[in-house]
Amino acid sequence: MYARDFSALAAKAESGLEVEAALRKRISETRAHAVLMDSRKTEGHLAAVAERLRLESRRPDALHQMRPGADPAAALARREAFLTRVADMLDAEPALAPGAGMAVRP
């Protein structure tokens, strides 16, 4: 599910569309869903999604998602970079939302 969504965003980015806002939203949703899955099943859901994205990023048969006429090697390299960046973002600790923080009581 997630690999397909992020792959679709990679294809949109390759075609020149702005995807950063949609990417951040999907990452947030993926994190929230991972917390839910970890509590209901076993831990490690987010790490599994990140690993799946890394595997997906190296698939040579993803050219069908690329726009026609693109240099196949360059397009695959950009796709790999995009999906690897997403995996790295999922592996990183989430940043606190602006205005959010921890209250410290004396």
pLDDT (tens digit, 9 = 90+) per residue, 80-93? 999 999 999 999 98
pLDDT of 101 > 50? The answer is no
Say if 49 falls within a structural domain. yes
pLDDT at 95: 63
Say if 99 falls within a structural domain. no
pLDDT at 65: 64
pLDDT: which is higher, 69 or 41: 41
| Torsion angle defined by CA atoms of residues 33, 21, 90 and 43, in that order, rounded to the nearest 10 degrees | 0
Q: What is the total count of domains within the chain?
A: 1
Rg (C-alpha) for the chain, rounded Å, is 16
Say if 98 falls within a structural domain. no
Say if 15 falls within a structural domain. yes
Q: What is the average pLDDT value for the chain, to the nearest integer? A: 85
- Give residue 87's domain range: 2-91
Helix residue ranges, H only, the chain: 2-14, 20-40, 45-57, 72-91
Say if 52 falls within a structural domain. yes
- Model confidence, pTM: 0.81
d(CA 26, CA 77) in angstroms, rounded, equals 22
pLDDT of 64 > 70? The answer is no
d(CA 23, CA 33) in angstroms, rounded, equals 15
Say if 100 falls within a structural domain. no
Question: Which CB contacts under 8 angstroms, 24+ apart, belong to 94-102?
Answer: 94/31
Tokens found for residue 82: 């995009």
